[in-house]
Structure 1
């Protein structure tokens, strides 16, 4: 039996251990901003592997001048104290290249009454696992640990190093997580991120994501004399219509085929502008003097952040130009929170082709290169450090929603793919 076959068999043998660890991770309620409890579990597992984990809290002062930096909403809310990243290095015995296996420990919050299962307790029903983060992406972290533990069990000696990373706040932009790790010096030759892309598919692109706020002025008055006021909600409705028109125009104009290779419903919808919140007024009998609308714009590779900002701001400016009140009292557009640029990795680069080949061998199914519909940490590697990074991870359904779920089978297949790709990419050390 060859090394790969032995590793795959060992991964199968460790299924129960993987599920138990994932159960512990899900129970640690690591909603973005409270990642510490989950990171403690990773530290324990790294130490059990005989590794020396590096544990640090991000320093925004060292990151602010970086091109990829923006102030995340979670940092603005709670800072970085008590929110560590964790890294460990499994040193190789030769001069092979360094590969990072990376994942984020934070998850989005839940509305518990929408769930049929306890979101904070991993539930198994046959092959299927339910729980917040089971797929996105504590399942990926469990698969990374399973892959490395199985290699260690078999005393596989890699020629190159493995970097193991568990990072924070990916769901909020990843600045204090993956960017902080890269700036700390954890820069590999290539990276695999265990996002739930549905092994054997391999993710080679991510979307740009930006949040914006439009403050629309009105003029307050008593409702009985409403003719003397200007209703900011009504004016905000005009802004909504303009941005909705821009959204439809962009959808008709912009195409990115990898985004819908595995999800056909995304065809014609690879870019989107969503207005998600509105705040206005404080009393039914008062004409509101201000409306504040917040939204998100997402788009695939092909446009810069500056180009997209100009289009959004231009649509709002056009409303003001055509409206007598807003011409003299123009809406104000601000950009906050997520300000991520898109990225794409060449589909013929070494780490992408090796990962896909191993994923197909591990699953017995044909995979596709996909991506470009979500903002991902992979962009930091590719855009700012010239490091090819791809996504290889388990199946995932209802991500960010109620009854998030993955499968045991796809987690085992992910672990096998990661281990085999580490063997191929880093190489096995040989005795001279």
Structure 2
């Protein structure tokens, strides 16, 4: 029996353990900014394997001058106290090092929208429901089970296998993956278990930036409203300009990997969204300012500076066409998320290897995908010259109500990652 056969048997025999681990991770409510409880579950599992994990809280002072750094909203709000990263190294031979893992944090839920309890795992046949079962506690659990299976199968890798569970990916990953890399855990390649629907393999991520537009008005009593200027009306003008820019960009920008795995993304590979607007404090008063907060996402092909310039120009042009705003222009500010897009070649060794193994394990063809969401993988590619791919389970309703994945897909993920480790690191005879 080959190493691969023994390892596959070990994973298939631990299906109940895999589901139990996912359940414990989901029940640890690790909304970004409150990741500790989930990391405790991870540490316990690693220690049960006889490993001695490195557990530390990020220190922005150590990497604030890094070109990939920005202050995340969760770090601004909560700092990094009691928000540790976790890394464990399985020592191998003198060969190449492979990093596996992903993020422990999840986005919050609106419980009234869920038909099931979001903070535990509900199994219905092959389907598992719960916040994070796909994005991405299922993938993390698959990585951990893959490590245990390799050990139980007696596989001694020819190089080190480094597992990592990181914080705040949903908020930018600065205190997570960037902190891990700056701590010295720089591998030869990385496989992150993001839910990219195996056997698809992710090779790209989107750029993401947050912006704020302060739109002025002139405050007066509503009874003398003709003497003032309503900032909400001016904000509507700016909003329409941003909507027009969004439509123009959607028609102009194409990135096939973004919709090879999800066809409905064709024509929607970039997006500008105004998510909040704040204005006024009294129905009888014209508000003197409206503040809009938005997000822009885009695939590889443009720099952050180019995208910022387009949004600032759209706002400026909207103001120039308005008699009052021409002399009282809105102000555009950039805050929070400030991530560049990235893309690696499908011909890169880890990408080609991952795709072949995933198709062999799943028994069906896959595609090279990505570019519609920001990912931690960018840190490896953009700043450390390390190829990183996304290899993770099938999932649906990510960030939405009744998020779900399947047991089969999690088992396939664990098997694929373990086999990638064997082939990439080699086996120490």
Given the two structures, how large is their TM-score scaled by the length of structure 1?
0.99
Find out whether 1:170 has 2:165 as its counterpart: no
Unaligned runs of at least 5 residues, structure 2 = none
Find out whether 1:184 has 2:150 as its counterpart: no
Find out whether 1:14 has 2:14 as its counterpart: yes
How far off its partner does 1:140 sit? 0.4
Unaligned runs of at least 5 residues, structure 1 = none
How far off its partner does 1:262 sit? 1.3
Matched position secondary structure for 1:348: coil
Q: Distance in 2 between matches of 1:65 and 1:278?
A: 32
Which residue does 1:306 correspond to in 2? 305
Q: Distance in 2 between matches of 1:102 and 1:147?
A: 11
Range moving further from structure 2, 100-109 or 318-327: 318-327
Which residue does 1:423 correspond to in 2? 422
Q: Distance in 2 between matches of 1:159 and 1:63?
A: 32
Matched position secondary structure for 2:66: coil
Which residue does 2:63 correspond to in 1? 63
Which residue does 1:406 correspond to in 2? 405
Q: Distance in 1 between matches of 2:286 and 2:177?
A: 46
Question: Over residues 386-432 of structure 1, what are the superposed CA-to-partner deviations in whole Å (9 max), with x where a residue is unaligned?
Answer: 000000000110000000000000000000000000000000001xx
1:22-421 alignment to 2 at 5 Å? 22-92=22-92, 94-421=93-420
How many pairs align? 429
Q: Distance in 2 between matches of 1:247 and 1:108?
A: 25
Q: Distance in 2 between matches of 1:375 and 1:426?
A: 28
Range moving further from structure 2, 321-330 or 408-417: 321-330
How far off its partner does 1:290 sit? 0.4
Q: Distance in 2 between matches of 1:265 and 1:363?
A: 23
Question: Over residues 316-337 of structure 1, what are the superposed CA-to-partner deviations in whole Å (9 max), with x where a residue is unaligned?
Answer: 1111222222122111111111
Matched position secondary structure for 1:287: coil
Q: Distance in 1 between matches of 2:264 and 2:20?
A: 35
Given the two structures, how large is their TM-score scaled by the length of structure 2?
0.99
Q: Distance in 2 between matches of 1:34 and 1:144?
A: 22
Question: Over residues 330-349 of structure 1, what are the superposed CA-to-partner deviations in whole Å (9 max), with x where a residue is unaligned?
Answer: 11111111111000011000
Matched position secondary structure for 2:326: helix
How far off its partner does 1:264 sit? 1.0
Question: Over residues 192-227 of structure 1, what are the superposed CA-to-partner deviations in whole Å (9 max), with x where a residue is unaligned?
Answer: 000000110000000001110000000000001001
Matched position secondary structure for 1:328: coil
Q: Distance in 1 between matches of 2:234 and 2:53?
A: 54
Question: Over residues 271-324 of structure 1, what are the superposed CA-to-partner deviations in whole Å (9 max), with x where a residue is unaligned?
Answer: 010111101111111011000011110000000000000000010111122222
Q: What do you get for the CA RMSD once the two structures are aligned?
A: 0.6
Q: Distance in 1 between matches of 2:48 and 2:289?
A: 57
Matched position secondary structure for 2:396: coil
Q: Distance in 2 between matches of 1:101 and 1:410?
A: 17
Question: Over residues 54-105 of structure 1, what are the superposed CA-to-partner deviations in whole Å (9 max), with x where a residue is unaligned?
Answer: 011010111210000010010111111000000010000x221000002100
Matched position secondary structure for 1:325: coil
Q: Distance in 2 between matches of 1:201 and 1:31?
A: 27
Q: Distance in 2 between matches of 1:21 and 1:276?
A: 35
